[in-house]
Amino acid sequence: MVIEFSRPWYGVAIPSCIIFTLTTVSYFGILQDVLTTNQTIWYFTTAIMISYSYYLAIVTPPTPAPSTLTQSFISDVMNNENDIFPTTTCKKCKKIKLPRAHHCKTCNTCVVMMDHHCPWTMNCVGYTNYPHFIRFLAWVIISTTNLLSQLIKQAYKLYIYRNSPFHLYQNVKYKIIILTLLIPGTIFVWLTVLLLLLKTLQNQIWNGMTQIEYWQFEMIENKYFQSKSSKVALQLQLLENLLNFYNKKLSTDSITKIQKLISSLQNGARWNTSFHSIINFPYDLGLSNNITTTMGSLNPLSWFNPWYTPLTASYNKINEFAIWDDNETHDNIKDMLLCLPWPLNYSNNSTFQDGELVVKSNDYGETLQDFGVDYDD
Measured distance CA(239)–CA(241) in Å, rounded: 5
Q: What is the DSSP string of 176-197?
A: HHHHHHHHHHHHHHHHHHHHHH
Nearest residue (CB) to Zn ion, 88 versus 207: 88
Residue 337 binds Zn ion (CB under 5 A): no
Least Å distance between CB 373 and Zn ion? 9
The answer to whether residues 87 and 94 touch, using CB atoms and an 8 Å cutoff, is no
Query: Minimal distance in Å, beta carbon 207 to Zn ion?
Result: 22
Helix or strand holding residue 103 (H, E): strand 101-104
Task: Tell me how many residues contact Zn ion (CB under 5 A).
Answer: 10
| 321 vs 341: CA distance, rounded Å | 9
Segment interacting with Zn ion (CB under 5 A) among 29-37, 114-122, 236-244, 300-308: 114-122
CB nearer to Zn ion: give 107 or 189: 107
- The interface region with Zn ion, picked from 116-124, 280-288, 292-300, 354-362 by CB under 5 A, is 116-124
Span near Zn ion by CB under 5 A; candidates 7-15, 101-109, 132-140, 152-160? 101-109
Q: Does 100 bind Zn ion (CB under 5 A)?
A: no
90 is a contact residue toward Zn ion (CB under 5 A): yes
Binding status of residue 93 toward Zn ion by CB under 5 A:
yes
> Of the listed 90, 104, 110, 118, which one is catalytic?
118
Handedness of CA 4, 213, 316, 135 (dihedral sign): positive
d(CA 183, CA 353): 50
In one-letter notation, the amino acid at residue 272 is N
Q: Which of 51, 82, 106, 273 binds Zn ion (CB under 5 A)?
A: 106
Per CB under 5 A, does 211 bind Zn ion? no
Dist CA 360 CA 377 (whole Å): 9
d(CA 142, CA 156): 21
Using CB under 5 A as the criterion, which residues of the chain lie in contact with Zn ion when the complex forms?
90, 92-93, 103-104, 106-107, 110, 117, 124
